[in-house]
Structure 1
Amino acid sequence: MKAEMREETVELDGHPFHLRHWGDPVAPVLLMLHGFPEYGGGWGDLAPHLAQRFHCVAPDQRGYGRSWAPPDVGDYATSKLVGDMAALIGAMGGGPVTVLGHDWGAAVAYGLAMFRPELVERLIVANGVHPVPFQRAMAAGGAQSAASQYINLLRREGAEKDLAANDFERLVEMFLARYRDGWLTDDKLAAYKAEWARGGRLRTMLNWYRASPLRIARPGEPLTDLPDLPLDRLRVRCPHLLIWGEGDTALLPESTEGLEDFAPDLTRVTVKGADHWLHHQKPAEVAAAILDWLPEGKETP
């Protein structure tokens, strides 16, 4: 699958953001939003399968890679992360565009769809979660609460030093090695480490976790004092595709229960033999799910 990748750095609201592109610049835009601990280049396995249909645009999000990385935790509030990508859509012509988010990138993708619906034509999420079902699951004290305990470790002051020690040994083990399954080649791992090693980046990457208001119950100790959420403002009104690698052990199926209440035009697709890193492990299947869901034709990657 051949699709040449191009790179550039643009200014959004006066700050630099690094972008990667695949496909014809005049094609419809697919905005690809990575999660932790990836960067825009993490879409390199999937984007070539979609570049005949889309102009794939993958930014290093705030705090990652070669993009702007302010030091303060408060600079990573969801509203600011969403604002970055709204500015990017504006710089590309104003939308609406198709948005694809994975992991933390899904949080930004949902934010765009909920709070800037005029910018989002269609929403695709790959192993990512809407804030309400996810908060409910993490607060219940059950399996998702247990699976999410690692977030408390990542929020600790100094966590970046622990993750960076011994050539990022713990970071690789926590997030990539246990799911490796052959996709994480030596060259790809070296590219990840080069991005993590940029000055201060690991701290600013972790600030996404520190800035999040989501709360996690201890296993067996449900939280009963959650604040009321503005449920009507947290709806996805555009067509929504959720693609799920069934072997994910960090995000469990219960974290998406009730999603239909917030996304009435929802389609679910399960990818067997994949886990949290489905876009690396099964890029052709993920691309086929996306292309088959689109309203025009049944192209295959």
Structure 2
Amino acid sequence: MGLLHYFQFAVACAFGLWYSLWIILHLVLSFMKGPITFVKDFFKKRDVMPSCLNDPGLGSHEFVHLKEVRLHYVANGNKKKPLMLLVHGFPEFWYSWRYQLREFRKQYRVVAIDQRGYGDSDKPSGVKNYSTEKLTGDIKQLISALGYSRCVLVGHDWGGAVACHFAMCNPEMVEKLIILNCPHPAIFASYMRKNLEQFRKSWYMMFFQVPVLPEIAFWANDFKLLESILLGEKGGVQSQETTAADIEAYKYCFSSKGSVTNPLNYYRAAFRYPLDKKNIRLIEKPTMIIWGCPDVALNQELAPLAGKLVPDLTIKYIEDASHWIQQDRPNEVNKFIWEFLNQ
């Protein structure tokens, strides 16, 4: 880690501590309003899998053993078809691709994974196990383990960052790259340092550098924070596509041991183990970015900036879609993907 990254990490921790004061105040006020309910919700258990996660129309649940971890995934479509690999973001899991698992199964072997640390995949402890190199290494091993040499790679949010890095380092394994509401990882850090609006929007990334407290904030009030992230008036899904049953599926996923800490470790690792400059290169493969414009976490300007490192870039905007674009506007997203694949 160079001097700049040490400074960046120190600044992130300092702001994280500042934001922590407001989070603690919010938690204390919530406790005072109903201490019994607060404690009861905090320790609420979810032992029964919601039925929507076992919908056979979404595909079959399978596991694959890699060098370091066992990954869970849901697969739909004939194994003889080309591979479409779907990589989720934070705080999500394979289920965020439910509309795409159904849509593309006739032409592709569609595989939606739980990244390491999520859902039913293994959850190795320690921040170092969630560096970008580790995550992209999982993707490389997975494609081969599934019996393929290349794929159409689709990533959203953190999954988009992993997909971009993978395409830079392993271009021969990517047929086409599709990114949903995620900046190019080699551009985002410098952009955030220079853009005050994006710096303010990224407050949660700095808060996540604080130990334990972010986990408490997620667990509190029966995962109310998770629900507000996905359905809140500011930044949540704008359509009626996401139901109460879907939210319960998310709460079930994040209620098991390690299912909050390890996803948070993605952000912690990003500050401690930045991208190796030798791996930053052009993405020569045809690439499409689909961007939901009212994204409260990311400036829209980040989408075209990716063109600096992606010569063959197509950008599609959905004006009234949130950050959770493939769940919010599945029909429009699927239409854009089909058009891009059929070019």
Match of 2:301 in 1: 254
Q: For residues 57-136 of structure 1, what are the structure 2 equivalents within 5 Å?
A: 57-136=111-190
1:166 aligns to 2:213 (yes or no): no
What is the CA-CA distance between 1:160 and the residue it aligns to?
0.7
Match of 2:110 in 1: 56
Match of 2:246 in 1: 188
Q: For residues 1-301 of structure 1, what are the structure 2 equivalents within 5 Å?
A: 3-13=57-67, 15-158=69-212, 159-178=214-233, 179-181=236-238, 182-213=240-271, 230=277, 233-295=280-342
Determine the C-alpha separation between the residues in 2 that align with 1:279 and 1:228: 27
Please state whether the residue corresponding to 1:212 is helix, strand or coil. helix
> Which residue type is aligned with residue 245 of structure 2?
D
Instruction: Report which stretch shifted further, 173-182 or 83-92.
Output: 173-182
Q: Deviations over 1:221-243 (max 9, x none)?
A: xxxxxx99738833211100111
Q: Deviations over 1:98-137 (max 9, x none)?
A: 1000000001101110011121111000111111321222
TM-score by length of 1: 0.88
Q: Deviations over 1:64-123 (max 9, x none)?
A: 000011110000010000001111001122421110000000011011100111211110
Determine the C-alpha separation between the residues in 2 that align with 1:36 and 1:155: 15
Please state whether the residue corresponding to 1:46 is helix, strand or coil. helix
Moved over 2 A (4+): 174-178, 180-184, 227-234, 254-258
What is the CA-CA distance between 1:177 and the residue it aligns to?
2.6
Please state whether the residue corresponding to 2:317 is helix, strand or coil. strand
* Amino-acid identity (%): 34
Cα root mean square deviation, aligned: 2.1
> Which residue type is aligned with residue 169 of structure 1?
K
Please state whether the residue corresponding to 1:45 is helix, strand or coil. helix
> Which residue type is aligned with residue 180 of structure 1?
V
> Which residue type is aligned with residue 183 of structure 1?
E
Q: Is the 8 A contact 1:63 1:70 kept in 2?
A: yes
Determine the C-alpha separation between the residues in 1 that align with 2:327 and 2:73: 19
* Residues 44, 8 of structure 1: alpha-carbon distance in 2 compared, 3 angstrom cutoff: same
Q: Is the 8 A contact 1:5 1:20 kept in 2?
A: yes
Please identify the structure whose Cα radius of gyration is greater. Answer: 2
Determine the C-alpha separation between the residues in 2 that align with 1:212 and 1:144: 17
What is the CA-CA distance between 1:175 and the residue it aligns to?
4.4
> Which residue type is aligned with residue 243 of structure 1?
I
Determine the C-alpha separation between the residues in 2 that align with 1:171 and 1:48: 25
Determine the C-alpha separation between the residues in 2 that align with 1:121 and 1:51: 17
What is the CA-CA distance between 1:284 and the residue it aligns to?
1.3
User: Whose helix fraction is larger, Structure 1's or Structure 2's?
Assistant: 2
Q: Structure 1, unaligned stretches of length 5 or more? A: 216-226, 297-301
TM-score by length of 2: 0.78
Q: Is the 8 A contact 1:101 1:125 kept in 2?
A: yes
Q: Structure 2, unaligned stretches of length 5 or more? A: 1-55
* Residues 3, 288 of structure 1: alpha-carbon distance in 2 compared, 3 angstrom cutoff: farther
